[in-house]
């Protein structure tokens, strides 16, 4: 009896090192002292990094790699936990032991220090799954990183998914009819559900489509009809419609000596780099465009930590996560006062303030060397025009929960 009590007290003491972390997965989050947070799929044995959604098969050679820089001065002790989620991103009602093998909370491996940079930082890398944590179920997840030295203060939260190859999905973009013909795009989804069997109840499936991945706009599509004995069509006249918007701007920060694409000037003063972005011009929010801009873009993706030859995600480039520098980057948008203007740069969304003196909206962001996508919103609408011809990247998520099942799993392949 005394041995059992002693063991319980020891376990309680170990748990107290990390604290009793609450489960909060409703939104992605990054603490102000963190920079260059990425969560990308990687293939075992390959070092190439592609900006792709954080979705990997439940079993296979792919894994997820979470990286982030700590720019603060006070010491931290980052620990992480993984939470299984519903399709809406809320914590599911599963027990941790249902979806995870290993400890509920674990320490992130020791960081590496930046090398020769004006801005010193610690670079953390976490592989999921790993020797401490194995995930057993497909579906939505969230990884939370908290500071064990500071009462479990949240440092970052990111969502990811594990897929099972049960359903094949094909996206079809159809022409919009009516008043939105020149400004919107219409998505339908064809499912091949043969692997789920002919006794499938369509009510056991949920289908979502989203425009882009960072700051994605997601819509759930209703089932429209069967297509043969093993096909389902999802969509409708009033669902799956997305404003086309305009192409993303590209900002090339790979060099802090020679201005790249989108850069107006680079200065070094007060022990920091300062980059001025070429000014952009405000249009009437959502203004109809007969044709989309012709500029090439990265569809909202960013590649951080690159210092040369990586202007396109499919290109080569040299990834130097410890040698890449940070800089203050200044964005300006010409336009009339009184608008609620936001800057989207990758996964960030930042409010801009209006300068009466300059007649511009302004915001500054601390960014690591690399290549970035950015654009502007005004009142929640695209600030530089709207065209159905804009090239957008769409994603489809398909969830399956059989009758009596306890959770929704991701089944698209």
Instruction: Tell me what the mean pLDDT of segment 14-26 comes to.
Output: 38
Residue 390's alpha-carbon distances to 93, 180, 187, 209, 353, in angstroms, are: 40, 14, 14, 17, 28
Residue 360 has pLDDT above 80, yes or no: yes
Closest CA to 23 of 127, 146, 140: 146
Count other C-beta atoms under 10 Å from residue 257's C-beta. Answer: 7
pTM (two decimals): 0.88
Strand pairing report for 326-334 and 272-277 = parallel
Instruction: Tell me what the mean pLDDT of segment 50-69 comes to.
Output: 94
Residue 257's alpha-carbon distances to 63, 139, 189, 252, in angstroms, are: 35, 45, 47, 12
Q: What angle do CA 328, 329, 334 make, to 5 degrees?
A: 140
Among 61-70, 144-153, 268-277, 281-290, the least confident range: 281-290
Higher confidence at residue 177 or residue 315? 177
Instruction: Tell me what the mean pLDDT of segment 169-184 comes to.
Output: 92
pLDDT band at residue 61 under the 50/70/90 scheme? confident
Higher confidence at residue 27 or residue 276? 276
Model pLDDT, residue 204: 96
pLDDT digits (tens, 9 = 90+) for 96-106: 999 999 999 99
pLDDT band at residue 293 under the 50/70/90 scheme? low
Count other C-beta atoms under 10 Å from residue 236's C-beta. Answer: 14
Higher confidence at residue 307 or residue 22? 307
Closest CA to 274 of 343, 325, 228, 238: 325
Instruction: Tell me what the mean pLDDT of segment 284-292 comes to.
Output: 58
pLDDT band at residue 179 under the 50/70/90 scheme? confident
Q: How far apart are CA 160 and CA 170, in angstroms?
A: 21
pLDDT digits (tens, 9 = 90+) for 229-244: 899 999 999 999 999 9
Residue 390 has pLDDT above 60, yes or no: yes
Q: How far apart are CA 288 and CA 143, in angstroms?
A: 40
Model pLDDT, residue 205: 96
Q: How far apart are CA 158 and CA 151, in angstroms?
A: 20
Q: Are 221 and 239 in contact (CB under 8 A)?
A: yes
Model pLDDT, residue 28: 87
Q: Are 378 and 351 in contact (CB under 8 A)?
A: no
pLDDT digits (tens, 9 = 90+) for 241-287: 999 998 899 999 999 999 999 999 999 999 999 999 999 987 766 56
Sign of CA dihedral 170, 171, 176, 181: negative
Residue 22 has pLDDT above 70, yes or no: no
pLDDT digits (tens, 9 = 90+) for 8-18: 323 333 333 33
Instruction: Tell me what the mean pLDDT of segment 112-130 comes to.
Output: 96
Q: How far apart are CA 376 and CA 393, in angstroms?
A: 18
Among 5-9, 69-73, 145-149, 338-342, the least confident range: 5-9
Instruction: Tell me what the mean pLDDT of segment 210-237 comes to.
Output: 93
SS3 of the chain: CHHHHHHHHHHHHHHHHHCCCCCCCCCCEECCCEEEEEEEEEECCCCCCCCCCCEEECCCCEEEEEEEEECCCCCCCEEEEEEEECCCCCECCCCHHHHEEECCEEECCCCEECCCCCCCCEEEEEEECCCCEEECCCEEEEEEEEECCCCCEEEEEEEEEEEEEEEEEEEEEECCCHHHCCCEEEEEEEEECHHHCCCCCHHHEEEEEEECCCCCEEEEECEEEECCCCEEEECECCECEEECCCCCEEEECCCCCCCCCCEEEEEEECCEEEEEECCEECCCCCCECCCCCCCCCCCCCCEECECCCCCCCCCCCCECCCCCCEEEEEEEEECCCCCCEEEEECCEEEECEEECCCCEEEEEEEEECEEEEEEEEECCEECCCECCCCCCCEEEEEEECCCCCCCCEEEEC
């Amino acid at each position: 009896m005394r041995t059992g009590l002693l063991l319980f007290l020891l376990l309680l003491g170990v748990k107290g090192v990390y604290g009793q972390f609450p489960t909060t997965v409703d939104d992605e989050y990054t603490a102000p002292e963190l920079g260059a947070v990425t969560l990308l799929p990687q293939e075992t044995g390959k070092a190439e990094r592609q900006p792709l959604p954080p979705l990997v098969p439940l079993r296979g050679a792919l894994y997820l790699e979470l990286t982030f820089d700590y720019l603060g001065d006070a010491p931290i002790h980052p620990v992480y936990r993984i939470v299984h989620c519903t399709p809406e991103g809320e914590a599911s009602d599963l027990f941790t032991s249902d979806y995870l093998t290993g400890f509920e909370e674990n320490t992130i491996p020791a960081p590496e220090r930046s090398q020769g940079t004006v801005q010193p930082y610690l670079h953390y890398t976490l592989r999921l799954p790993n020797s401490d944590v194995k995930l057993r179920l497909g579906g939505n997840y969230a990884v939370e990183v908290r500071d064990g030295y500071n009462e479990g203060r949240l440092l970052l939260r990111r969502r990811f998914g594990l897929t099972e190859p049960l359903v094949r999905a094909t996206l079809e973009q159809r022409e919009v009819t009516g008043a939105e013909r020149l400004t919107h795009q219409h998505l339908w989804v064809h499912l091949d559900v043969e692997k789920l069997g002919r006794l499938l109840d369509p009510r056991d499936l949920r289908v979502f489509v989203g425009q882009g991945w960072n700051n994605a706009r997601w819509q759930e599509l209703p089932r429209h009809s069967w297509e043969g004995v093993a096909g389902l069509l999802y969509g409708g006249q009033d669902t799956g419609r997305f404003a086309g918007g305009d192409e993303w701007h590209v900002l090339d920060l790979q060099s802090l000596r020679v201005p790249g694409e989108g850069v107006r000037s680079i200065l070094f003063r007060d022990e920091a780099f300062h980059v001025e972005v070429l000014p952009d011009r405000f249009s009437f929010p959502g203004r109809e465009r007969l044709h989309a801009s012709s500029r090439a873009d990265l569809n909202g993706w960013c590649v951080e930590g690159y210092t040369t030859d990586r202007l396109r995600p499919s290109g080569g480039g040299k990834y130097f996560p410890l040698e890449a520098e940070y800089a203050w980057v200044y964005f300006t948008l010409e336009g009339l006062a009184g608008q609620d203007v936001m800057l989207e740069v990758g996964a960030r969304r930042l409010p801009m303030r209006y300068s009466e003196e300059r007649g511009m909206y302004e915001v500054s962001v601390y960014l690591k060397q690399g290549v970035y996508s950015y654009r502007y919103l005004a009142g929640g609408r695209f600030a530089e025009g709207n065209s159905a011809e804009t090239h957008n990247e769409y994603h489809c998520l398909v969830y399956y929960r059989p009758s009596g099942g306890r959770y929704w799993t991701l089944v698209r392949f």
